Amino acid sequence: MNKLGEMVKTADWKSEKHVPVIEAPDAVKAGELFNVSVVVGKEIAHPNTTEHHIAWVAVHFIPEGSKVSYEIGRFEFSAHGQAAAGPNLGPIHTDGCVVTRVKISVSGILCATAYCNIHGLWESDKAVCVQ
């Protein structure tokens, strides 16, 4: 039987619509707030229908040399066009994109995971250096 870690997929975000793309500075000052955005479907749009959608994105920080990750946030997307009238007939659709502000005191890795209700769990990461 597979373990969860074996089921996580990665790919080049320019050729795959499921990869969460992290946008953040390469370098920051210790203790200063900066924006971290994560978008699923940056180059190739991901569908957002009742049948096929990004359900959530989670963002973690792994300090350099640490064996522990710290969850920055978990963002659920609940509106995918569903309605009593039928699938995709609802008045609102959310998109797999989040922006949050963080501050860090040490260099490390930002890690984003995204869950597609059909294609499973996807991951990417980005190094951020504290100057």
16 is catalytic: yes
On the question of pLDDT at 28 being above 90, the answer is yes
67 is catalytic: no
Q: How far from 40 is each of 17, 84, 85, 93, CA to CA, in Å?
A: 7, 27, 28, 14
119 is catalytic: yes
Query: Residue 24 gets which letter from DSSP?
Result: -
From 9, 93, 119, 126, the catalytic residue: 119
46 is catalytic: yes
| Contact predicate 21/13, CB 8 Å | yes
60 is catalytic: no
From 46, 53, 60, 80, the catalytic residue: 46
From 14, 29, 52, 103, the catalytic residue: 52
97 is catalytic: no
Residue pointed to by tokens 């963080």: 102
41 or 4, higher pLDDT = 41
* Per-residue confidence band for 14, with pLDDT thresholds at 50, 70 and 90: confident
Query: Residue 84 gets which letter from DSSP?
Result: T
CA atoms within 13 A on the CB side of 47: 11
64 is catalytic: no
Superfamily covering domain 4-130: SOR catalytic domain (2.60.40.730)
| pLDDT per residue as tens digits for the range 37-78 | 999 998 888 999 999 999 999 999 999 999 999 999 999 999
